[in-house]
Structure 1
Amino acid sequence: MPASVSKKTAGLSVRAYIGDAKTLLAFDMPKAKTKNLVGFTIKVQPEGQTPYYLHNTLTFASPELHAQDTKQPPGSSLNAPFQKFRWLHVPGSIHQGLQPFMGMYTYTVTPRYVDAKQSMQPLDAKLSVSVKVPVQPFELDGLQLGFTRGYVQSQGFLNHFGPKALIRPNDKELLFDTSQISGSNAAGEQYTFEEEYSWLGFTARQRVMDLLDEVLADGKLTVDVFAYDLNEPTVIESLIALAKVGRVRVILDDAALHHDKAMSKPEDQFETLFTKAKKSGSAIKRGHFKRFAHDKVFVVRKVADSTATKVLCGSTNFSVTGMYVNSNHVLVFDDANVAGEYAKVFDAAWDDDVSGPAFIKSPLSGQIFDFKLSRKITGDISFAPHSPQVANSVLDEIATRIAQEGKNPQGKASVLFAVMEMDNGTSPVYTSLSTLHKNQKIFSYGISDNPSGIALYEPGKSTGVLVTGKPSSTILPPPFNQVRSVGLGHQIHHKFVVCAFNDDNPTVYCGSSNLALGGEQANGDNLICLRGEEVATVFALEAIALVDHFLFLDRYAKKKGQKEPLKSAAPAAKDAAAKAVKWSLRTTGEWAEAYFDSSDLKFVDRQLFA
């Protein structure tokens, strides 16, 4: 499976980047072809399924003056083309409901033009370009990836679940029936927590549940668990079921966030349930190294000889927030060597009662574990906590790799990232990422819940973008619906950095580490480096999706003294309001000029992706 597929004609080229159950479509054309261009129509054909056109929230101010197919909704890109040179498609956002088709997809992209009267002409199929790619959970050479969809702050979430959707029942019970009704959407359609969780948890949830189901179904397997936050009901039910048959060991964080004398925390409640249920072979230990037992890991082993066969790791906590609100990732290594190294770490922590000082003295803390899954995927892993010297060395390597991108030719260098916090703690990585957007030699596109400052796109400038995943209350212009806030919790819980995703030496840093010196010296964590174009592309698409989304929300963050808009309005009222603020599609090719202005970030964007 390549990282991307492309096709080109004299008037249009289309490149489709393959992500984790998503596709980034990037377009290019000679500048002369942009005269009278009013966007791109995108038709989607899932193999063996009903085709559809991707949806655009924006429409023409006067649709009746343009070629329109009345059988399609006004927002169909057949009627309202996209005025961008790339578009990300995630199945299930608008079409196909909560369980979208996974498999081969054909995307047909057609440039759309207006005549001398600025009226869009009917679609001309002779101008179309089609590409065919797999749209499915990412798996390659013994590595599976998974990502939460999250996006409770999105139009897609509102469309499916409405503005008042519950993330968990109000009674706050640790265990609850996820098949119970959670709520209803604007159309009056009811949905369950299970349906909501499946959509929000997306492929990350699928990876977690698949692994637990595999162990439950095979009496010859057992699982060792590192957990930090732990309150997801289906995960807990699976772990309790394994405890009853003596096939699970758990190391669970007991820092103040997760433990008190009254045993009232969700993790304490889990410990009580686990202890009552466990049979010989199952056991639980609480601990926090020097500060937190911050790993989120399942190690699958054979009962017969304790040989490790598979490991799940990443940034995703096994909690309702971690799997359904936060933006997170998981990795599953179906590789005995990698799994074996995680098993050594678990055994060392278990034998030393989750002691930070003891682990730091072990070879596991001071060494970097190198692995090679195939010629397409290599990498290394470090396991914290570390000594100060090792912690500095590990993070300096990432900062150095980021700096190397500045030496690449302009138009080739890129750093894309999603890092939970960047202004809380000391880190050479934070320092590098916080100022990266100022370097015009690098295409930088990043997001953090707590950046030291934000840098939005400015027309005519090629400086990078740095946004926050937690904008203050947004006031979106019509025709967009207002979105909810994540409150005091995190939106961005990822900790990944991607360098040169489509150039030489594509590299990803990811895992549970917060990429800060304090955490690397005090927390139980794992920091993974992956090298390979396919895997780097997958992480790059996640960064692009997040930055694009929150770049829009950040631009409309509520300003002091600004009044809240009406929470909802009828479609006709929203259309009228959109016209009033002139928030509609352009009827000339002027919108495309920035993509051919060498001083503009959109020019760099078009060159890099298309």
Structure 2
Amino acid sequence: MACVTATNPKGGFTAKAYPGDNKTLLAFNFDNKQRTVNLAGFSIQVQPPGKPAYFLLNDLLFPTPNKHAVNQSEPPNSSANSPFQKYRWTHFTGQYHQGLNPAVGLYKYTVTPRYFDNNGNMLALDATLSASVTIDVGPFKKGALSLGFTRGYMQSQAFEHHFGMHAQLQPSGKPLQFDTSAAAGTDSTGKSYAYADEYAWMGESARVLVFDVLNEVLNDPTLSLKVFAYDLNEPDVVTILLKLAAGGRVRVILDNASLHTNKAGTTPEDQFTTLFNKQKKGKAAIVRGHFARFSHDKIFIVCKNGAALRVLTGSTNFSITGLYVNANHVLVFDDPTVAAKYSDVFEESWKDLAKANSAVAFAASPLATAPFTPQLAGISKTVINYSPHSATDASKVLNGIVTRVNQETGAGVANGNVLFAVMQLTGGQNPVYTALNNIHGSESIFSYGISDAPAGTFLYQTSSPQGVLVTGKPGKTTLPPPFDQVPSPPGHEIHDKFVVCGLNGKDPVVYCGSSNLALGGEKSNGDNLLEIHDDDVATAFAIEALGLIDHYDFLDRFANAKAAKTAKQGSVSKPAAKASVKKTKAVAKKAPAKKAAKKPRAPKKTARKAAPKAGRRTPAAPRSSR
């Protein structure tokens, strides 16, 4: 793993930096507990390439700042004056200091432990106690694999500060096509912004990868594209696909389950189909189908002279909610062997969707009966399964994930861990759902999970060795000062489907892709499920999980009371203004920090049974530093 470590022997202090996708996980530790006596927290200074250094900001201030040593050249919310009281912190480049286009390259992070005197007053920053780590920060790429994530987080301080409380993601009437450079609204300062500005911020690196592939094909007349689409209404994606149709250079398999079609032809997918058929020329063609339930893949395959060169896949729908509201991931393989296999899946699906029993036909094909195991430079092992499967094969694939999850709790496994973000964990008898819903109860493993529909909610508790399972749909919330109230987004927050096992272990692995990890879906849907054994890839996904879970662990604590009929199911205990966040054993061992006066303690974890359908999702407080 490309982890960077620095230790300062004077204070027995160690700082580690783990690279993610345009973000860095920082973790801190001491060599013994005595070093934590009178600990006030950690100041973090960032030196980006070619730009001035700055301290990260902390929204939580001391109640009486003048009691403490103050750096007059820094604002009150600088971590130089208000240190972070956590043993890890995720830095998202940009936001306060670099805007929407932060620098890419080597970043130097200098972390300094801060201490109180015996009267509870914070002492001045002592640079002789600092530890500095330098790490490459930018888009994730390893060998032939590029990885990206949507940012989403519409219900965050960062989104509200950029786009205000009343941001609109589409013009009124929700047209399929519109000019995304048009003004969408104004922020709290009265400054105008365009839909494209919202999309760039919310879509983040996943959007970059999607349009990198589309524009590559659009701008090279020798290239063509094969597309699997489920939800389809992102206006710029639609425009490019229609241009390719007019040039005879695209074939599309588009889902036509009931949510994507109607007799009036008014769904976005129906509108797209009508426009496509009017504009198509040459070899351009479109097929509508849904196997036994859904054609659920989200895939681009780039071809030249009939040969596949490159493929994009993942959990991200080519829609406004998929790219800009949901938490999602995108993977791009610049590998002809992988692209060729996906092209085979496309051709088999094109053929089978014309049959009455399309799911049965695909499940019987060699593409579904045996996993695909490409050899990728720099990646230890990759396994890809394509569905729909037979019942036997579906169970085999999902039980393989359960076995790997359970291995982390086995005897002899040091610091076993499972981190996940999975859209749904309820509905039917599904082995993966059962395993992920139950693992938080184990005291022998670090588990950290989030779902829009978990079987229960178990918030972080400082005194408990059990795991954390939070919901991405807590319902309405009321955030306390100093946090601003933030907008409520439409649709799912957690649309990801990934599970990380064994971070920092001998065989770290991530399961990801479009599969909902359910037996019904594996038997009935067109999907692809990837299993990637690689420490850097697993780390990038783990950092994404940590951000999501920390964010919603905080938000879930401020969920407004439910109606009387649901109150019987339990409620989350009322918290203080900010919760401490559990630190993974897989990253750094936690030592107790002394909290500043009136800085809040984490509330106790309370099990809350989730309703089958969560209420409208509400804004959350900020996660780490955006």
TM-score, normalised to structure 1's length?
Answer: 0.91
Match of 1:483 among 475, 483, 486: 486
1:13 aligned partner, one-letter code: T
Shift of 1:398: 0.3
Contact map agreement 2:85 2:593 (CA 8 A) in 1: no
Residue number in structure 2 paired with 1:149 = 151
Secondary structure, counterpart of 2:449 in structure 1:
strand
**SS class of match (1:371):** coil
Is the Cα contact below 8 Å between 2:55 and 2:79 reproduced in 1?
A: yes
- Decide whether the 8 Å contact of 1:3 with 1:537 is kept in 2: no
Partner of 1:9: 8
Paired position in structure 1 for 2:594: 590
Matched, 1:284 2:286: yes
User: Partner residue of 1:361?
Assistant: 364
Kindly indicate whether the alpha-carbon contact (under 8 Å) linking 1:5 and 1:131 is maintained by their aligned counterparts in 2: yes
Matched, 1:517 2:519: yes
Within 5 A, what are the aligned runs for 1:329-348?
329-348=329-348
Cα drift, residue 503 of structure 1: 0.8
Determine if contact 2:290/2:353 at 8 Å carries over to the other structure: no
Q: Any idea what the Cα deviations from partners look like across 1:123-142, whole Å, max 9, x if unmatched?
A: 11111111111111100010
Partner residue, 1:233: 235
Greater CA drift, 110-119 or 508-517: 110-119
Correspondence for 1:528: 530
Secondary structure of 2:425's counterpart equals coil
Coordinate RMSD, CA, aligned: 1.8
**C-alpha distance in structure 2 between counterparts of 1:156 and 1:490, whole Å:** 19
Q: After superposition, where does 1:448-467 map in structure 2 within 5 Å?
A: 448-467=451-470
> What letter is aligned with 2:8?
T
Which residue of 1 is the match for residue 276 of structure 2?
274
Partner of 2:476: 473
1:606 is matched with: none
Show structure 1 runs of 5+ residues with no match: 563-580, 593-599, 602-610
Q: 1:206 aligns with which of 208, 227, 230?
A: 208
Alpha carbons 2:422, 2:450 under 8 Å: kept: yes
> Helix, strand or coil: the match of 1:381?
strand
TM-fit CA distance, 1:287: 0.5
Q: Given that residues 27 and 88 in structure 2 are in contact (C-alpha distance below 8 angstroms), is that contact kept between their aligned partners in structure 1?
A: yes
Q: Distance in 2 between matches of 1:584 and 1:38?
A: 16
Paired amino acid for 2:7: K
Instruction: Specify whether residues 426 and 486 from structure 1 end up closer, same or farther in structure 2 by C-alpha distance, changes over 3 A only.
Output: farther
AA paired with 1:199?
W
Structure 1 residue 71, shift from structure 2 partner: 3.0
**Other structure's SS at 2:257 match:** coil
Q: Is the 8 A contact 1:315 1:328 kept in 2?
A: yes
Determine if contact 2:105/2:136 at 8 Å carries over to the other structure. yes
Q: Which has the larger displacement, 223-232 or 185-194?
A: 185-194
State the SS of the aligned residue for 1:430.
helix
Which residue type is aligned with residue 455 of structure 1?
F
Q: Which amino acid aligns with 1:478?
A: P
Taking structure 1 as reference, are residues 296 and 560 closer, same or farther at Cα in structure 2, changes over 3 Å only? closer
Q: More displaced, 468-477 or 412-421?
A: 468-477
Asked if the contact 1:478/1:583 (under 8 Å) is kept, the reply is: no
Post-superposition offset of 1:255? 0.6
Shift of 1:81: 0.3
- Partner AA of 1:249 in structure 2: R
Q: How far off its partner does 1:32 sit?
A: 1.1
CA–CA distance in structure 1, aligned partners of residues 478 and 242 of structure 2: 44
Distance 2:169 2:76 in 1: 32
Indicate conservation of the 8 Å contact 1:150/1:325, yes or no.
yes
- Equivalent in 507, 510, 513 of residue 508 of structure 1: 510
Q: Aligned AA for 2:20? A: G
Q: Aligned pair in 2 of structure 1 residues 584, 146: CA closer, same or farther (>3 Å)?
A: closer
Partner of 1:313: 313
In structure 2, do the counterparts of structure 1 residues 262 and 556 end up closer, same or farther at CA, with 3 Å as the change threshold?
same
- Secondary structure at 1:170 match in 2: coil
Question: Residue type matched to 1:421 in 2?
Answer: Q
Partner of 1:557: 559
Q: Deviation per CA, 1:309-366, whole angstroms, max 9, x where unpaired? A: 1100000000000000000000001111111110000011112335222212211111
| SS in structure 1 of the partner of residue 172 of structure 2 | coil
**How many pairs are equivalent?**
570
Structure 2 residue aligned with 1:118: 120
Cα distance in 2, alignment partners of residues 436 and 76 from structure 1: 38
Give 1:374 deviation, angstroms: 2.2
Partner residue in 2 for 1:254: 256
Q: What's the CA shift for 1:583?
A: 6.8
For 1:344 and 1:561, the matched residues in 2 are separated by 51
Q: Is the counterpart of residue 19 in structure 1 residue 20 in structure 2?
A: yes
d(CA) in 2 for partners of 1:395, 1:38: 46
Counterpart residue number, 1:438? 441
Quick one: which of 121, 131, 137 aligns to 1:135?
137
Q: Distance in 1 between matches of 2:556 and 2:411?
A: 30
Q: How far apart, in 2, do the equivalents of 1:32 and 1:155 lie?
A: 36
> Letter of the aligned partner of 2:353 in structure 1?
D
Distance 1:329 1:146 in 2: 6
The answer on whether the counterparts of 1:443 and 1:464 sit within 8 Å (CA) in structure 2 is yes
Name the SS of the counterpart of 2:400 in structure 1.
helix
Q: Secondary structure at the match of 2:173?
A: coil
Counterpart of 1:453, as a letter, is G
Secondary structure of 2:386's match?
A: strand
Secondary structure at the aligned position of 1:369 is classed as coil
How many Å apart are 1:34 and its aligned residue?
1.0
Matched-pair contact (CA < 8 Å) for 1:60–1:584: no
Identity of aligned residues (%): 52
Give the Å deviation of 1:409.
4.3
Three-state SS of the structure 2 residue aligned to 1:60 is coil
Residue 331 of structure 2 corresponds to residue 328 of structure 1: no
Tell me the residue number matched to 1:447. Answer: 450
SS at match of 2:106: strand
Contact 2:165 2:486 in 1 (8 A): yes
Counterpart of 2:29?
28
1:175, distance to aligned residue in structure 2 (A): 0.6
Match of 1:425 in 2: 428
Deviations 1:60-86 (A, max 9, x none): 001112122233222111111000000
Describe how 1:385-400 pairs up with structure 2 within 5 A: 385-400=388-403
> Does 2:224 match 1:222?
yes
User: Residues 408 and 13 (structure 1 numbering): CA distance in 2 closer, same or farther, change over 3 Å?
Assistant: farther
Displaced runs of 4 or more, over 3 A:
408-411, 581-585
Q: 1:119 and 1:433 mapped to 2: Cα distance?
A: 44
Aligned match of 1:576? none
Q: Does the aligned pair in 1 maintain the 2:422–2:498 contact within 8 Å?
A: yes
Distance 1:393 1:131, change over 3 A: same
SS of equivalent residue, structure 1 residue 110: strand
Structure 1 position 109, deviation (Å): 0.4
Deviations 1:342-397 (Å, cap 9, x if unpaired)? 00000111123352222122111111101221243421101100110000000000
Give per-residue Cα distances to partners, 1:105-124, cap 9 Å, x unaligned: 11110111122332212211
Deviates more, 1:51-60 or 1:112-121: 112-121
**Within 5 Å, which residues of 2 pair with 1:125-204?**
125-204=127-206
Relative to structure 1, the CA distance from residue 88 to residue 408 in structure 2 (aligned partners, 3 Å threshold; closer, same or farther) is farther
* Distance in 1 separating the partners of 2:412 and 2:193: 51
Given residue 462 of structure 2, which amino acid in structure 1 is its aligned partner? Answer: P
Corresponding residue number in structure 1 for 2:410: 407
Aligned partner letter, 1:351: K
- Counterpart in the other structure of 2:600: none
* CA distance in 2: counterparts of 1:237 and 1:427, whole angstroms: 39
Task: Output the CA distance in 2 between the equivalents of 1:214 and 1:582.
Answer: 48
Q: What CA distance in whole angstroms lies between the structure 2 residues aligned with 1:561 and 1:256?
A: 32
Cα deviation for residue 95 of structure 1 reads 2.7
Q: 1:589 and 1:415, CA in 2 relative to 1: closer, same or farther beyond 3 A?
A: closer
Please give the per-residue CA displacement for 1:543-586, whole angstroms capped at 9, x wherever unaligned: 11101110000111111479xxxxxxxxxxxxxxxxxx88799x
**Contact 2:161–2:188 (8 Å) recurs in 1:** yes
SS of the residue corresponding to residue 222 of structure 1 reads strand
Please state which structure has a larger fraction of its residues in helix: 1
